[in-house]
Amino acid sequence: MKSIRIGSLIACMAVVCALSTGCDSILTELLETLGYTSGTPAPEKPQLLYPHLDATDQSRTPLFSWECDDSNPEMEITYTVFLERWDYAGPQYEYTTGDKFLSCPITLESETMYRWRVKATEQHGLGRTSDEYEFTTGTGFNNPPARPKIIVPVSGESYPPDVLIQWTCYDPDGDELTYDVWLGHSPAELTLVSEGQSETEYHAQSLEYGTDYRLQVIAHDAESESEPNTYCTFSIIDQGEYHGVYCELIVHRTQYFYEAALTRVDHISARFDSVYAPDDPVNPLRPAAVVCSQPGASGGYDLVWQDGWDRYYFNAPLAGYFLGMGVEYFFDITGADGVPSLVTEPIYYLECRPYITSPEQGSYVTLEGLEVVWANYDLYPDCDRPVRIRLQDMGFIEWTDVDITTENDGSYTFTAEDVAGIDPFVYQLQIVLIVETRENIAAAGYDPRSFIETSTWATALVFRNP
């Protein structure tokens, strides 16, 4: 009743002011007396989400949900849901809640059209009401899944050609959901790129530079499917386009057997680049400082800038290895030179420690049909993480096109297809086994491809026969 009286009083004052002059200050003083300030506007208009407009075959106990901006800490908002039959042939129901959803407390009539709306009211009685949606019930009680809400990409934004698509969704009945992901250049050219997946993310790779994409995600429960997500179109940057600071943060251990002795060397490195796209030159940036630490531990490793490498770096040659396996590390970056400050999330440093037992160091080999054999020098007898097998041209110190991910079962044999892209005149190659954990960095000012990675490497230097 207090809210109604205040609202009526404000309305009356507005009418009086409309019929007279010079009362703006009086109205402002009254509002401030009642607790209003010029920085406290009315609540945002609620946007109805579920049931959708003109939805059919809806549950007889639907879950109503809506969106409304409640980020203003000075505003305490409550919501009132109004529900009635479309033909006014029954009572009108009103339910008040502090949440932005409401499970219908009554069982609605089957195959009947209803209308509903939501009013958002702040603590002084000022409110906004949503549009009105109609929906029709079915005969059963299963609710279809809610419409998926896309988190990344943001509609209208530009992204690199590798995009980690992410969304959220819920089922009113708590059913397990699966998702179909459709991607294409226009609504008429969508392609099903993933069907029936349970994860709420999809890694779209090698998209076309300088093009627009349309994204559609549909959720399924055991009996029905959701409406597709709301309109989402994003762009892929042109090749070489600036897109934030690209950052590589790497913690890794190189280890190998040489003359029956296990050799290990630990490294920490951090590289920052103002432009990063395939075939582009490196444009190094230098923040003020980079420190790598363990959560909860005192101190850390202060990385040192290496002019020749254009990156921060740390190792301890006399100690050989100093990183603790099976623990977490994070980077603390002090910004400068266009690099934003950043404290990363901790990332797990693997306990897997592979080393190559065959071929021997310095062997002369033919790569096609060559079997690479390794073992896990580990605290545990097995390591179920996949390994990457890569070849590095030691003449030019660059990676070849060989990049194979395989199960960590101790061996792999190169096929003709694996080594087809290697120059037959290159005679000095490095076989590298990599076991890694890698996460992208989602932070303002950083390119979405930026990452923090922990890995263990095992290497064997081989000489390929001409």
Residue 387: which CATH number?
2.60.40
Same domain (yes/no): 328, 415: no
Domain-embedded: residue 402: yes
Percent of the chain with pLDDT over 70: 85
Same domain (yes/no): 216, 305: no
The mean pLDDT of 61-73, rounded to a whole number, is: 86
Domain count, the chain: 5
pLDDT recorded at residue 286: 93
Domain-embedded: residue 242: no
Beta-strand (E) ranges in 259-366? Answer: 261-273, 289-293, 301-302, 304-306, 311-314, 328-334, 342-343, 347-348, 354-358, 363-365
pLDDT recorded at residue 4: 42
Same domain (yes/no): 401, 446: yes
Same domain (yes/no): 362, 460: yes
Check if the beta carbon of residue 132 is closer than 8 Å to that of residue 116. yes
In terms of average pLDDT, the best of 17-26, 104-113, 440-449 is 104-113
Q: Average model confidence (pLDDT) for the chain?
A: 83
Same domain (yes/no): 202, 225: yes
The mean pLDDT of 451-463, rounded to a whole number, is: 89
Least confidently predicted of 122-126, 202-206, 281-285, 418-422: 281-285
Same domain (yes/no): 304, 335: yes
Same domain (yes/no): 223, 303: no
Q: Of 236, 270, 302, which marks where a domain is finished? A: 236
Q: Is the pLDDT of residue 58 over 60?
A: yes
Same domain (yes/no): 392, 300: no
Q: Domain range spanning residue 129?
A: 47-137
Domain-embedded: residue 241: no
Q: Specify the long-range contacts of residues 70-79, CB closer than 8 Å, at least 24 apart.
A: 70/43, 70/100, 72/40, 72/41, 74/37, 74/39, 74/40, 75/40, 75/43, 75/122, 75/123, 76/122, 76/123, 77/43, 77/120, 77/121, 77/122, 78/120, 78/121, 79/46, 79/118, 79/119, 79/120, 79/121
Name the packing angle between helices 24-33 and 2-19 (round to 10°).
170
CATH at residue 158: 2.60.40.10
Domain-embedded: residue 243: no
The mean pLDDT of 180-198, rounded to a whole number, is: 93
85 vs 96: CA distance, rounded Å = 19
The mean pLDDT of 275-281, rounded to a whole number, is: 56
Beta-strand (E) ranges in 198-245? Answer: 201-204, 212-220, 233-236
Residue-wise pLDDT for 348-371, tens only, equals 998 887 888 888 888 888 888 999
Which residues partner with 137 through β-bridges?
Answer: 58
198 vs 337: CA distance, rounded Å = 42
Same domain (yes/no): 98, 179: no
Domain-embedded: residue 142: no
The mean pLDDT of 380-390, rounded to a whole number, is: 76
Q: Of 300, 319, 348, which marks where a domain is finished? A: 348
Domain-embedded: residue 41: no
**Would you place residue 17 in the very low, low, confident or very high pLDDT band (cuts 50, 70, 90)?**
very low
Q: Is the pLDDT of residue 299 over 90?
A: no
> Which is more confidently placed, 336 or 425?
336
pLDDT recorded at residue 22: 46
Q: Of 301, 327, 348, which marks where a domain is finished? A: 348
Same domain (yes/no): 161, 230: yes
Domain-embedded: residue 375: yes
The mean pLDDT of 420-439, rounded to a whole number, is: 82
The mean pLDDT of 269-275, rounded to a whole number, is: 87
Domain-embedded: residue 144: no
Q: Is the pLDDT of residue 190 over 90?
A: yes
Same domain (yes/no): 280, 200: no
Q: In this structure, what DSSP letter does residue 383 have? A: -
Same domain (yes/no): 328, 387: no
